[in-house]
Structure 1
Amino acid sequence: MKPSELLDTLQWRYATKAFDPEKKISAETWAAIEASLVLTPSSFGLQPWKFLVITDPDIKAQLLPHSWNQQQVVDCSHLIVLTAQAPVTGSELDAFIDRTHEVRGGEKSDLQFYRDMMGGFVAKMSDEQLLTWAKNQVYIALGQLMASAAVLGIDACPMEGISPAEYDKILGLEGTGYFTTVACPLGYRSVDDKYASLPKVRYNKEQVIQHI
């Protein structure tokens, strides 16, 4: 992709206010979007999250009143609910070390230093602080999701206007250690969405970027 093509793609994307409920994302394209989420970077590589993909119309309908009745929730092709895992415990650290050893091989004992470093980081924080940290990681995934979708010509709308506690109840997350953080409907914009043609309102580069 040329630099100009990247910028054109980012100019094209916007927070879609109206989706065409008749248009669905193909299986091949959706597989790429899911793969992009898996590839999201995170602190220490720990990936303290789970991404729920919702296509069931009944579940979408249940979530609608807990989403400020934003119609995107029911009209989108796929709704992703991004959840944060907390607290991160020794079990999660051990599982990550096991996975690292499985993927990279070598001597597992060589990973003990990294395990101890992560353990020291976790031990310094309360459960509340760990949840805040995990939610911050989720927003990295949200950014990757929106950029990847735009490159593939898929519309998206990040949504914090939801009731996380109600989402947790409906999606069966209570007691699992995962907490709803943000939602993101994806699909194809409606031809009636007037926001699609509005110019972006951004500050000039000189106001937000400083070279040192």
Structure 2
Amino acid sequence: MKTATREQLIDQLNWRYATKQFDADRQIDPADWSTLEEALQLSPSSLGLQLWKFVVVEDPEVREQLKAASWGQSQITDASKLVVLAVKKNITEKDIDAHLQRISEVRGVPVEALAPLREMSVGSVILGKDDAARDVWASRQVYIALGNLLTSAALLGIDACPMEGFSPADYDRILGLEEKGLGSVVVAAIGYRSSQDKYAGLPKVRFPKEEVLLHV
């Protein structure tokens, strides 16, 4: 299996940064974007439930509205792609059953054979959490997908900026998410850095490994 070398991985992680200015004239190659969409689809989640939607906003007028709901940040409109990572609200046993049905289809096993997994999932997600805790738990899963997207983009030499600086209520209204049973959590602007972005050449600031890694 072809893989990135250790050096390539670290080089790209050092190369990436939260891009502040995008080149509005440079667009992502469709094949590369298709790869990033597939990377999002392949993101891991707790119990494999995938209680999320990834909203790719392509309409320029809608992106202008979202920019206004993002305190005027230019990444919203200048990046080649804008992805709103949203979580499913009001999770029920039906969502767990949908996942089990998909397992049955993909792996060719009877749904009945998945009863132990169903019991564990319902006990953990539905019975083991109140509504508020369930929403927090589901939102955390979205950040796993965000991290996967950022790393995948970096490995392709594509810039990205994760963004929490926006009004979720306004995003939900503009994108019609509430009626779809969804809620926006975090945004990712994806594209290519502008040559004018003063942050692009700055050294990456991280605490030493000895301070952030604990071996026990």
Q: AA paired with 1:42?
A: S
Q: AA paired with 1:99?
A: R
The correspondence for 1:99, drawn from 94, 99, 102, is 102
Q: Is the 8 A contact 1:158 1:184 kept in 2?
A: yes
* Counterpart mapping for 1:69-84 below 5 A: 69-84=72-87
Q: Is the 8 A contact 1:83 1:181 kept in 2?
A: yes
> Is it true that 1:26 corresponds to 2:44 in the alignment?
no
Q: Is the 8 A contact 2:53 2:86 kept in 1?
A: yes
1:112 matched residue in structure 2:
115
* Percent of paired sites with the same residue: 49
Q: AA paired with 1:22?
A: D
Distance 1:116 1:88 in 2: 15
Give how far 1:167 is off.
0.1
2:132 matched residue in structure 1:
128
The correspondence for 1:14, drawn from 17, 29, 35, is 17
How many residues are paired up? Answer: 212
Give 3-state SS (helix, strand or coil) of 1:157's partner: strand
2:203 matched residue in structure 1:
199
Give 3-state SS (helix, strand or coil) of 1:47's partner: coil
Task: Report runs of 4+ in structure 1 exceeding 2 Å deviation.
Answer: none
Q: Is the 8 A contact 1:87 1:177 kept in 2?
A: yes
Q: AA paired with 2:17?
A: Y
TM-score by length of 1: 0.98
Give 3-state SS (helix, strand or coil) of 1:175's partner: helix
The correspondence for 1:169, drawn from 166, 173, 190, is 173
User: Structure 1: where are the runs of 5+ without partners?
Assistant: none
User: Structure 2: where are the runs of 5+ without partners?
Assistant: none
Give how far 1:133 is off.
0.6
Give how far 1:126 is off.
1.4
Give 3-state SS (helix, strand or coil) of 1:135's partner: helix
Which piece of structure 1 moves more, 26-35 or 125-134? 125-134
2:88 matched residue in structure 1:
85
Q: Is the 8 A contact 1:85 1:177 kept in 2?
A: yes
Distance 1:20 1:51 in 2: 23
Give how far 1:157 is off.
0.2
Distance 1:127 1:96 in 2: 20
Give how far 1:87 is off.
2.4
Q: AA paired with 2:104?
A: H
Q: Deviations over 1:140-192 (max 9, x none)?
A: 00000000000011100000001000000000012322100000100010010
**RMSD of aligned Cα (Å):** 0.8
Q: AA paired with 2:54?
A: F
Distance 1:25 1:52 in 2: 17
Distance 1:188 1:154 in 2: 6
Distance 1:107 1:72 in 2: 47
